[in-house]
Amino acid sequence: MSKWKFYLLLPMLAVLAFGSVSFAQEIDKEALKAEIRAELKAELKKELLSEMKAETKAEVQEATLGLRDVMRTDFADEIRAEIMQEDIAGAVEEALAGSAIMGGMFNGLEVGGFVDTMFSYNLRQAGEDATENAGDIGGWNFIGENDDNTFTLESFAMFLDKSATDEHPIGWQAHLYFGEKAKRITFLGEGGTADTDDSNARIVTIATGNLTWNAPVGGLTVPITMGKQYTWIGYELVENIGNPNYSHGVVYNNAIPFTHNGVSFDVSEFMPSDNLGLQLKYVNGWDSFIDNNEAKSFGFYLTYEPSDDFFISLAGIIGAEGWSKRVGGSTDDNFISDNNHGNTMMYDIVACYSLPQVDKLSLGFNWDHGYIEDFVGHDGGTASGTTLGGIAGDSLVDSASGAHWWAAVGYAMYDWTDNQMGALRYEHMNDSDGARAFGYSISTWTYTHNITIADNLMLRPEIRHNIHHISEDREPNVGDNAEHSNDSETILTFGAEYVF
């Protein structure tokens, strides 16, 4: 019986098995269709993108060719000119680089300068004395900047500077000045003559002209400079575009030299610290482009700069410059003596400090002290005829003594805005011994308001008050009728400087 039941179930099992196989086949067909469709889509997409790229490239090429044809037509002459200029410039540069003179002498040359024009008015004499250097008493401000009630071309300066480098160890410098300042920068020539009088004054001068060689010494570099150079003494510079005040101070004008002609050795690399610098000098003397005596002067310049906020220097010079009196010579001889036994010497201290506690404020200080041996000549004897080693009253030097001068200057600079800076300067110089040919002291107050326009133009209004410490009997009479007589003066100045 059980067997018959099994046989009866066989048809039902066959139907179920056949149905399961058909269902599985149906599922496999749908998956296969989806897979084939995805492959066909990828192929069609690839073909379509390829066709689009080809069409786009063809369109871009067609547009480029069209634009090129337009530019060739419209800019043919301009393009040709550019090509010619580039080729010629390249050929010239290549030729100059191979030239011993042009490739070496002018390689790395920097050219600059400035134009300085001004108007000055001296309230003491009410603008009534228009002669040159009328804006002072006793000739203290002889570098210029003191002509009264007149417009003045103070300077046209041209600077040519080629620095000595490791690659090119030879450098040179030439600074030319035209105008009023040119008359005052260098004035002692052969025999001590001074070309500062109006009839014989030059209006152009080479303020500096020198060569520098970076000499290798013991594995280090010693820059050796020979020729005419700016002085290493003092706070202020000849080019007043680098000074906080427009006018130069009386200390710069009268207490220190302007230039020197000689040789300088920069031995800073031998110093124990990078913060220290040292230069050694051997020069003709003070402001002499041709030595006016047989002696030379020795000098040094020691600097210490531990940070960007602080700087201090000590400078000195000593030499028998012929400014001393000679026993037996005339008591009237000044600055032209051929006596090389009396030394002229001075030292100078400069300090600069930017106060971190007071933003935008910086201070400066300058101290000078000089001494000339045997400068004051004494005519021995008395009016009754007794003598002290000589004949009284014969205007001949029977004995001599030394003379001192000293000066102190303070500076305060404050940045009011990004393009406006105020500079206050106080000076006092003592020349009671007459070492600098004045015989008395002077004090000055100066305020300059510096306005910078477009980085190149500076407008510099200034007020200056000079106090001459002299007795009433020495006060000069100035003006048309000599009615202005006092020992102080106020000078109003407006300077305009363009730097290029």
Candidates 133, 137, 119, 120; CA nearest to 484 is 137
Same domain, 30 and 142: no
Please provide the DSSP assignment of 303-345 as one string.
Answer: EEEEETTEEEEEEEEEE--S-S--TTSBTT--S-----SS-EE
In a domain, 226, yes or no: yes
| H or E stretch at 319 | strand 310-319
Same domain, 32 and 135: no
The tens place of each residue's pLDDT in the chain, 500 residues long, gives: 545 455 555 555 555 555 554 544 555 677 777 777 777 777 777 777 777 777 666 666 666 666 666 666 666 667 666 766 666 666 656 665 555 555 566 778 899 999 999 998 888 776 665 555 555 556 665 565 667 788 888 899 999 999 999 888 999 999 999 888 877 676 554 444 444 444 445 678 889 999 999 999 999 999 999 999 999 999 999 888 999 999 999 999 899 999 999 999 999 999 999 999 999 999 998 887 777 777 899 999 999 999 999 999 999 999 988 776 666 566 565 555 555 567 899 999 999 999 877 889 999 999 999 999 877 777 664 433 334 455 655 667 666 788 999 999 999 999 999 999 999 999 999 999 988 888 889 999 999 999 999 889 999 999 999 888 887 766 665 555 455 556 788 889 999 999 99
Candidates 186, 210, 211; CA nearest to 290 is 186
Q: In whole angstroms, give the CA distance from residue 229 to residue 257.
A: 11
Sheet strands (E) in 33-165: 110-122, 150-162
Same domain, 469 and 389: yes
Q: In whole angstroms, give the CA distance from residue 287 to residue 464.
A: 27
In a domain, 93, yes or no: no
**269 lies in which domain range?**
110-499
The owner of tokens 């290549």 is 94
In a domain, 105, yes or no: no
In a domain, 252, yes or no: yes
Q: What total number of domains does the chain contain?
A: 2
Same domain, 48 and 131: no
* Contact partners, residue 21, CB within 8 Å, separation at least 6: none
Same domain, 282 and 360: yes
In a domain, 367, yes or no: yes
Same domain, 122 and 70: no
Note the maximum CA span of the chain: 185
* CATH assignment of the domain containing 222: 2.40.160.10
Same domain, 131 and 70: no
